[in-house]
Structure 1
Amino acid sequence: MKKKATRSNNSDNSREAPKPATTALIPKRQRRLIISPKPNYSLNLWGIMKNCIGKELSKIPMPVNFSEPLSMLQRITEDFEYASLLDEAAECEDSTEQLAYVTVFTISSYSTTINRTTKPFNPLLGETYECDRTDDLGWRSLAEQVSHHPPTAALCTEGKNWRLWQEFTMGSKFRGKYLQIIPTGIAHLVFEKSGNHYTWRKVTTTVHNIIVGKLWVDHHGEMDIKNHKTGDNCHLKYYPYSYFSRDKPRKVTGVVTDSSDAAKWVITGTWDTQMEIAQVLQVDESSKRPVFQTGPKRVLWTRVLPPPGSDKMYFFTQLAIQLNEPEDDVAPTDSRRRPDERLMEDGNWDEANRVKVQLEEKQRAKRKKMEAEAEDCLKRGEEPPCHRPMWFKREKDEITGEMIFKSTDKYWTCKENSEWTGCPDIYL
């Protein structure tokens, strides 16, 4: 059993980079600490939103005034703000304790949304995003927009002793007073040492006060994180905010059970502040609801507050500030190269809106051309062309039996060789 209690904080970039075998030191990359402040643009909100009620969010052409200068591919990469929890989980010898760490990791990803009411850019088909933080945070990630209808992003992240891949797709509806987002994709996580294989799906997110009042975000619903190798399971409940409830806002509770359904760990806390775990010592089942006698609570995760002035920088965390930092050697389809997003980050919103329309028109024209070609092929009895992702391939998962996009593991080799032949032309 893991004895040492630690608090996860992989936003701390003060750790020394690994030293090579020689005496020479590899210079540590200095990453940016700020971005341009958000301009103050007036906007007729109702004039734009009144025609959107009941429509799918991904199909609504939205000006950048509602957005933040990050693509959805970059936003889902933010899930790894506290990836050090997975590094700690990899060291756990007890599978149920490991599951407790994994569970807290899934909860920690919501903490970045507490004041983030702006919308990320919808990725263009074929858009990619890499995030290589091996030198300081110990992980690297690749995401690609692999489907347009339904909009689907595939992601694969590699740590030292773990590998996580997931599909992000969602249903969304604007109801007037609130916007509801229902994720439907699944996440897979495997630890190399134990071979433990976990899966889970995200809970529902609701953005309130769309038209009148101050926007605020809530996450609610139930989630199961399952270890398919051992049969361990954690059932989580995200409590919806209620004016009439005495519960602490943003409350999350869960119980880790083993393959025989015996409770092993209790998980409590709030998704925006901190999460604690406690080992179950005894269960009293004499009443209608079981009562757990537990050992001392252990803080597994505490949220790291955003840097000073974050309210002027879209409430970004330090990691979010660095996600769109320009890099020269990334793929030509990388979100960092997306011109409308870059213009928005630089504060040139009018030009960003103009370029955004051009990009969307280019994508729409390409899709219409492919649809026409497909129709001609069907008339001739031939197989119609379809979009094929560059770095992911759709396969049947051996554990769940479901189809999912998995990495072909070719991206990082191509990057080393600066070999980007075949990447689609999606920008201007």
Structure 2
Amino acid sequence: MKGWLLKWTNYVKGYQRRWFVLSNGVLSYYLDQSEVHLASRGSITLKAAVIEHVDPCTFAISDSSKQLSFRVKAETEAERQTWITSIELAKGAKMPAADKENPAPTEVKMIRNRRTRVPDKPHYPLSLWTLMKNCIGKDLSKIPMPINFNEPLSMLQRLVEDYEYSDVLDIAASCSDECEQLAYLAAFTVSAYATAETRINKPFNPLLGETYECDRTDDLGWRCLTEQVSHHPPITALHCESKEWVSWQQFSLTSKFRGKYLQVNPVGGAFVSFPATGRRYFYRRVTTTVNNIIVGKLWVDLEGQLEIVGSNAAKGYKCILNYIPYSYFGREEQRSIKGVVLNPKNEAKWLLRGTWNDKVEIAPVLHTSGPAKNPSYTTGEYRVAWQRRPAAPDSDKYYNLPVFACQLNEPEEGVAPTDSRLRPDQRCMEEGAWDESNREKLRLEEKQRAVRKQQELKEKQAIAEGRPFSAYKPMWFKLERVEGSTEFMHVSKNTYWQAKAAQDWSGCPNIF
């Protein structure tokens, strides 16, 4: 068994969220899931452990000497009881006697030892004149931007970061009540913006046909695939799956430069499905604004309304999340969000509150009063549905990347030849060879333009000769009509992981 619990630290820090793992008669805890391959922060052997009931959600567990003790709090009484029952079973469990003549095979689950940071960002000052002098007399749309504005990750990898807090989705999958499930799902959608406040560098724009796989079934229980399926307009398709849930997205964006700020408007949307219950939900992202583009310190804000709409077995259920923009004269806390979960009768059942860069709390609605346009809610006790993991003290030295993001571009064998990890300009940047990275970036962009011109020429020839022309088709995704809609979306062909197992990359384009 594994999951989040609040562990008592001291009277200064109080309770802190920690990842607990119950395995082989030992209860251990870590800062988060990314540490499970490292030594635990603390552990108790359960054979002679003593459990003390504190309150409906809290219990304490001590070792046989009572010199080591954990005081932990679950989110609900039911969750606390589940942990206590599992611990009691682990205490009384006996290992089967070994058959010396026919020893039973032992299954060993290997968890990869992953890195926790990337090399420090080198100091390469860039003046405005250095950038502008390369633009004189040239078409600005074809001027490559230097990597000084980038971080060593592809946009494909940034999208996979949406699933860093997949444990919130795991909790949502375990909820029997539709409204409670939707409240946790809403908290999960907020977690995608956890590092937006400090991540001011842009990711690398993916090349057409570029892919990225992230297989974390060994520790996080899911695997994900992304592919750049279109270049003009740039569109990315994503498919992520675990035993309890499946998620797929299509992402694109439009941006508008307003002088003092840059506004980024996402296009497309995301689905999350829970196969065990047949419930499915859809949502779109909100607008991101980067302020002080020319003068001052850059800072990021989010604004807009995110609506999560249920379908199939969840038809009629929805959640409305409001991202409240910063206002100098406003009373709201900066970067705050507020939300409400509604049932098919349009009755409020759960409320959400918090900030998109820290945590989200949820609470059941017990009573609603007042006018429909401005209702007043009486709620039960709020609980933490999602909380951001603290950044490393020196993360500002390496692009403010969290541990999970640092692991995304770690070299890995057996991936497709189009995988972002193999992209030379991105790899050179991570390793600090920025001059070489800029040269590689220019080479790749020129190569992509040449391929596109050849495709356009073939298309013109086909039209002139009156014969059909086959447009570009993605390798691992296909365009399908969204069920119950007139829109189309790229969905997985479910062929990638079989190809990887066979190491058959014969159909992959040569993009690097």
**Equivalent residue for 1:383, pick from 468, 491, 501:** 468
SS of the aligned residue for 1:112 comes to coil
Q: Distance in 1 between matches of 2:338 and 2:5?
A: 19
The sequence identity of aligned pairs, in percent, is: 53
The answer for the alignment partner of 1:195 in structure 2 is: 278
Matches within 5 A, 1:320-399: 320-399=405-484
The answer for the alignment partner of 1:235 in structure 2 is: 320
Matches within 5 A, 1:203-218: 203-218=286-301
CA contact (8 A) 1:152 1:169 kept: yes
Matched, 1:12 2:33: yes
Q: Deviations over 1:28-87 (max 9, x none)?
A: 2110122110011111137647999xxxx9976311000000000000110111011111
The answer for the alignment partner of 1:119 in structure 2 is: 202
The structure-2 alpha-carbon separation of the partners of 1:307 and 1:281, relative to structure 1 and needing over 3 Å to count, comes to same
Matched, 1:97 2:185: no
Structure ID, larger Rg: 2
Q: Distance in 2 between matches of 1:35 and 1:12?
A: 19
**Superposition deviation, residue 5 in structure 1:** 8.0
SS of the aligned residue for 2:405 comes to helix
The answer for the alignment partner of 2:248 in structure 1 is: 165
Q: Distance in 2 between matches of 1:68 and 1:420?
A: 28
Matched, 1:70 2:153: yes
SS of the aligned residue for 1:77 comes to helix
SS of the aligned residue for 1:111 comes to coil
Which AA in structure 2 matches 1:250? Answer: R
CA contact (8 A) 1:231 1:258 kept: yes
Query: Which portions of structure 1, spanning 4 or more consecutive aligned residues, are displaced by more than 3 angstroms?
Result: 4-11, 14-17, 45-52, 57-60
**Superposition deviation, residue 306 in structure 1:** 1.8
Q: Report the TM-score, using the length of structure 2 for normalisation.
A: 0.78
Q: Distance in 2 between matches of 1:384 and 1:93?
A: 50
**Superposition deviation, residue 216 in structure 1:** 0.9
The structure-2 alpha-carbon separation of the partners of 1:288 and 1:73, relative to structure 1 and needing over 3 Å to count, comes to closer
Q: Distance in 1 between matches of 2:499 and 2:148?
A: 36
The answer for the alignment partner of 1:271 in structure 2 is: 356
Q: Deviations over 1:217-269 (max 9, x none)?
A: 11111110011133100011001111221210000001000011010001000
The structure-2 alpha-carbon separation of the partners of 1:59 and 1:323, relative to structure 1 and needing over 3 Å to count, comes to farther
Matched, 1:153 2:174: no
Residue ranges of structure 2 left out of the alignment (5+ in a row) = 7-16, 20-30, 39-103
CA contact (8 A) 2:110 2:218 kept: no
The structure-2 alpha-carbon separation of the partners of 1:16 and 1:365, relative to structure 1 and needing over 3 Å to count, comes to closer
SS of the aligned residue for 1:184 comes to strand
Which AA in structure 1 matches 2:34? Answer: N
CA contact (8 A) 2:304 2:322 kept: yes
CA contact (8 A) 2:322 2:339 kept: yes
The structure-2 alpha-carbon separation of the partners of 1:316 and 1:144, relative to structure 1 and needing over 3 Å to count, comes to same
Q: Report the TM-score, using the length of structure 1 for normalisation.
A: 0.93
Residue ranges of structure 1 left out of the alignment (5+ in a row) = none
The structure-2 alpha-carbon separation of the partners of 1:246 and 1:354, relative to structure 1 and needing over 3 Å to count, comes to same
Which AA in structure 2 matches 1:201? Answer: R
Matches within 5 A, 1:2-81: 11-15=32-36, 22-45=105-128, 48=131, 61-81=144-164
Which AA in structure 2 matches 1:282? Answer: H
Q: Distance in 2 between matches of 1:46 and 1:235?
A: 46
The answer for the alignment partner of 2:370 in structure 1 is: 285
Q: How many residues align?
A: 417
Q: Deviations over 1:102-133 (max 9, x none)?
A: 10000011002120000000000000000000
The answer for the alignment partner of 1:86 in structure 2 is: 169
**Superposition deviation, residue 392 in structure 1:** 0.1
The answer for the alignment partner of 2:392 in structure 1 is: 307
Q: Distance in 2 between matches of 1:288 and 1:388?
A: 48
SS of the aligned residue for 1:275 comes to strand
CA contact (8 A) 1:227 1:233 kept: yes
More strand by share: 2
The structure-2 alpha-carbon separation of the partners of 1:117 and 1:398, relative to structure 1 and needing over 3 Å to count, comes to same
CA contact (8 A) 2:116 2:404 kept: no
The structure-2 alpha-carbon separation of the partners of 1:198 and 1:46, relative to structure 1 and needing over 3 Å to count, comes to farther
Q: Which has the higher contact order (CA 8 A, sep 6+)?
A: 1
Deviates further, 21-30 or 362-371: 21-30
**Superposition deviation, residue 24 in structure 1:** 4.6
CA contact (8 A) 2:414 2:503 kept: yes
Q: Distance in 2 between matches of 1:183 and 1:46?
A: 31
**Superposition deviation, residue 302 in structure 1:** 0.9
CA contact (8 A) 1:375 1:384 kept: no
**Superposition deviation, residue 8 in structure 1:** 8.6
Over the residues paired in the alignment, what is the CA RMSD in angstroms? 2.2
Matched, 1:416 2:437: no
Q: Distance in 1 between matches of 2:37 and 2:113?
A: 12
